[in-house]
Structure 1
Amino acid sequence: MRHILLTAGLLLALGACAPALQDDTPSRAATKHSTVLPPMKVFASPHPVPPDRSNRDIARDFLDLSFELESGRALETFSRFEEPISIRVTGSPPPTLILDLDRLIHRLRAEAGIDIGRVRGDTANITIEAVTREQIRRHLPKAACFVVPNISRLSQYRSNRHSRLTNWALLQKREKLAIFLPSDSSPQEVRDCLHEEIAQAIGPLNDLYRLRDSVFNDDNVHTVLTGFDMLILRTYYAPELHSGMSRMQVAARLPAILSRLNPRGNQIASHPARATPRAWISAIQTALGPGTGPRQRVSAAQESLRIAKAQGWTDHRRAFSHFALGRLTQTINADTSQNQFLAADEFYRRTPGTELHRAYSASHLAAYAISRGQGEQALHILQPHLATAERFENAGLLATLLMLRAEALDLTGRTDQARAVRLDSLGWARYGFGADWAVRAKLLEIAAISPTKGPKG
């Protein structure tokens, strides 16, 4: 399932630099209805980047993704669909859902070679039911969306939740699954759910924090299927594999499969990453998930950082611990928070393939500079990351970066350019944040960062 996280989501609270925010959801009370919004912007062609890792490392990742659940429970057998896969949509889908679903299906056919298509009938292998966020959280409070085997409606889930019918560990072959996603979230959140839940419905069931370039990672940084993900799914449906195989049987066939599908990976040296301890995962989930008080969140983030240091990590997981702590201390101590974001950016900088991660850090570093009237510094921080947010199809992040850039331009006296950039941000914000009131609230939130516009400006 896709988890609800406070830190890597679309609505980046910048509380240390503006009036303190209680959560990541803009307030309706803060909106100005006079702001005329331009049409929604959407992304054109995807730009997946091929994985840059050894096939030996990818094989290990494939096995850990395919033979474990997110809970850490081992799976005895490999399972997948053995026939062409059909998908139907029910419930109350928002207008953008079908367009984004069709784009995803096209990618799965073209990039992963999977025989999959959308149908309009009453039955399908995968049923996507669009329901409200409240309905989803009533069943799974920590989930933004989720997938379940052998049912087709949310009404069937409660009575079958703990039965053999919906037990992934007992699944021998996939034939019928249901995906439940929110009908009242932003277009981007709905699309992100489509990518993550369909990927798990047809492919691996596990998430691994050690993966820096994948949606199969609970940090929610990547929100659309990457080049690595498509290789994993293409491997999942290789003719050499079939449902019912054991981990040992799959492992024996992976080298030849990956050599055929990813010959470049045979020329790259292996750099295996250490496994992620359950204690670190638990600390991160406590820090960033719902249902925890502010003090407990900060304590959990500090614990995740302690574990990361003890593990000797210098990769994106160490950076993510710093990022989480920075995010959670913004309203407590702006300077401490800034130091954590700087540390996160430094560890991301040392880790290849973390451009998108650095773009998130940049939003906070630039906000800090703006809050201190340092417009040129903020522009310098933001400039490299605008193209990154667009390349990874993250409209919420792109809109945030553009809004920050507009404030920085205002600080440097370039008001006409700031006005044009701010207008450009609104089209992306409509996709990233959804409702008009949410877009207006985000615009006001970021404007309040500037010392010339905030409460004291």
Structure 2
Amino acid sequence: MRRIVLPVCLMLGACMPAVPTETASRAAPFSDTSLPPMKTFSVPRPTPPVQSNSDLAQDFLDLTFTLESGRRLPYFSRFEGPISVRVTGKPTASMGMDLNRLLARLRAEAGIDIHLTDSPEANVTIQAVTRADIRRNLPHAACFVVPNITRVSEYRKARRSERTDWGKIRTRERLGIFLPSDASPQEVRDCLHEELAQALGPLNDLYRLHDSVFNDDNIHAVLTGYDMMILRIYYAPEFSAGMTRGQVAARLPAVLARINPAGQNLPPRRVGSTPRSWVLAVQTALGPGANPPERRRAAEQALQIARTMGWNDHRMAFSHYAMGRLTQRVDDRAAQDHFTAADHYYAQVPGTDIHRAFVASQLAAFAVAQGRGQDALSMVTPHLNTSARHENAALLATLMMLRAEALDLLGRADEAESSRLDSLGWARYGFGADWAVHAKLREVASLNPVLGRN
């Protein structure tokens, strides 16, 4: 449901969350033969969720019966029976590989009977089209999913009709997912994960969820263990398409006791709902349309709301992170303070190691620019494995490039060159085109003051 162009890890750019919409979409970021082959992830390493069933029940109901726009859904909708998926258009080789890995995870972790087919009668059609084709229909989208159509050319005429209205659907039968064929492998993979998850299950995003792709902060690149549990609940045999919220709520405790028995005895965290005013401030700060001063004022408003709410969780951290991103061009000292505060608050919430890795990339960039090689090395190194475990190649490559610059500052040139070379295979997956890989290398290298490239 994300509709904003999101650079995965541009250190000097801005992270942009989505604008609420009733069309489920994900927001958008991407050969020279001198580069090494592209690296890819192999065995998934999702972290099993640790969640009380009391919290999980509220999350499930809020995800299932509300659209991100705030509109309530009257019915529980899902596919009934085996689900078939076909691919049309001009898919890349990496798309096929990543789709097969995702379907295997959905079968193994979520217990969903889902398989590939060549039949035009498939339940889910994934069409690979150009980014220009997508943006002609949804200008700020990287990818999106719509019920009851299978070609992007059908969308413009059908977008405001009952045919594509999620609120009118009880049983999902056919829908289309539209992905970019000319984006980086990671962007395509991320779109596959989010759009197929929403095609199968919840259509809402909640900022209070820190361990989920169903969150507009765009921190998670692939479906988490929590997300797979939500989908497993979604396809529990106790539920059926067309049930009301009350009917689902009545059966939910027994379902959760069976699927997540450990959650029966865990105390609830009871993370409160997120005020609409904070969401709107974040969207203004990090979304499209506003000028830099307006963005900074909106970020300040979001931070003030977070303080007024008394938050000590990932939402307070994200408020500081947004302030850091928006002030680093005008006040690098203030930006560092905000990133340090973001890391402090993320550290209070278990399971936010990938969030801290993003913050570390920002703080390490400042350390390199200030010639503090050992500090930068200490910031980056703990997060390399985290980035790999969360399958974020763009972040992993960036951290490895920062590590190389830190090692250069320490006079360890051979180690620096090895780290830089190792980063390139991941950068090819994360950033795509060779020019984008070289641009990222230049961007990180330009931070190093000792080499005279700042």
| 2:35 pairs with 1:37 | yes
**Alignment equivalent of 2:122, drawn from 105, 121, 124:** 124
Partner of 2:147: 149
Alignment of 1:159-178 (within 5 A): 159-178=157-176
Matched ranges for 1:181-220 at <5 A = 181-220=179-218
- What's the CA shift for 1:390? 0.4
Query: Residue 146 of structure 1: CA displacement?
Result: 0.8
How many aligned residue pairs are there? 441
Q: Is the 8 A contact 2:76 2:244 kept in 1?
A: yes
State whether residues 5 and 288 of structure 1, in contact with CA within 8 Å, keep that contact through their aligned partners in structure 2.
no
Instruction: Choose which of 56, 59, 83 in structure 2 pairs with 1:58.
Output: 56
TM-score by length of 1: 0.94
CA contact (8 A) 1:3 1:218 kept: no
Determine the structure 2 residue equivalent to 1:256: 254
Tell me the alpha carbon deviations over residues 398-421 of structure 1, each in whole angstroms, 9 at most, x when there is no partner. Answer: 000000000000000000000000
Q: 1:283, 1:142 → 2: CA distance?
A: 18
1:48 aligned to which of 35, 38, 46: 46
- Residue 351 of structure 1 and its aligned partner are, at CA, apart by 1.1
**Alpha-carbon distance change, 202 to 299 in structure 1, aligned in 2, over 3 angstroms:** same
CA contact (8 A) 2:445 2:453 kept: no
CA 1:258–1:373 in 2, change beyond 3 Å: closer, same or farther?
same
Letter in 2 for 1:69: L
Q: 1 CA distance for matches of 2:347 and 2:33?
A: 38
1:313 aligns with 2:311: yes
> Helix, strand or coil for the counterpart of 1:413?
coil
Higher relative contact order (CA 8 A, sep 6+): 1
**Aligned residues with identical type, % of pairs:** 61
Candidates 380, 383, 387, aligned match of 2:381? 383
Matched, 1:428 2:452: no
**Distance in 2 separating the partners of 1:386 and 1:48:** 16
- Deviations 1:228-276 (CA, angstroms, capped at 9, x unpaired): 1111000000000000111111011111111111111112111111101
The ranges of structure 1 where at least 4 consecutive aligned residues each deviate by more than 6 angstroms after the TM superposition are none
Give 2:4's aligned residue. Answer: 4
CA–CA separation in structure 2 for the residues paired with 1:152 and 1:92: 14
Judge conservation of contact 1:14–1:367 (CA < 8 Å) in 2. Answer: no
**Paired residues of 1:145 and 1:179 also in contact (CA < 8 A):** yes
Deviation of 1:123 (Å): 2.6
> How far off is 1:34 after superposition?
7.7
Deviation of 1:2 (Å): 2.7
Does the 8 Å CA contact 2:11/2:361 hold for their aligned counterparts?
no
Report the Cα distance in structure 2 between the residues aligned to 1:381 and 1:178, rounded to whole angstroms. Answer: 42
Between the aligned partners of 1:275 and 1:5, the Cα distance in structure 2 is 26
In structure 2, what is the equivalent of residue 344 of structure 1?
A: 342
Letter matched to residue 85 of structure 1: I
Q: Is the 8 A contact 1:309 1:318 kept in 2?
A: yes
Return the offset for 1:454. Answer: 4.5
Residues 217, 454 of structure 1: alpha-carbon distance in 2 compared, 3 angstrom cutoff: farther
User: 2:8·2:29 contact (CA, 8 Å) conserved in 1?
Assistant: no
- TM-score, structure 2 as length reference: 0.94
2:93 aligned to 80, 95, 105, which one?
95
Contact conserved, 2:126 with 2:177, CA < 8 A, in 1?
yes
C-alpha distance in 2, partners of 1:5/1:93? Answer: 20
Q: Give distance in 1, aligned partners of 2:299 and 2:104.
A: 39
Out of 141-150 and 338-347, give the one that drifted further.
141-150
Q: CA deviation at 1:176?
A: 0.4
Note the residue ranges of structure 1 that are not aligned, 5 or more in a row.
Answer: 17-23, 27-32
**Structure 1 residue 4 displacement after superposition:** 2.1
Q: Is the 8 A contact 1:2 1:197 kept in 2?
A: no
Q: Is the 8 A contact 2:39 2:428 kept in 1?
A: yes
CA distance in 2, matches of 1:208, 1:197: 16
Aligned position for 1:108: 106
Instruction: Give the match for residue 140 of structure 1.
Output: 138
Question: How far has the Cα of 1:286 moved from its partner?
Answer: 1.6
**Alpha-carbon RMSD:** 1.6
More deviation in 388-397 or 291-300? 291-300
CA distance in 1, matches of 2:301, 2:83: 43
SS at match of 1:143: coil
Using the alignment, how far apart are the partners of 1:10 and 1:395 within structure 2? 9
Residue 20 of structure 1 corresponds to which residue in structure 2?
Answer: none
What 5-or-longer segments of structure 2 have no aligned partner? 15-27
Contact 1:280 1:304 in 2 (8 A): yes
Whole-Å Cα distance in 1 between the matches of residues 348 and 220 of structure 2?
19
Query: Is 1:289 aligned with 2:287?
Result: yes
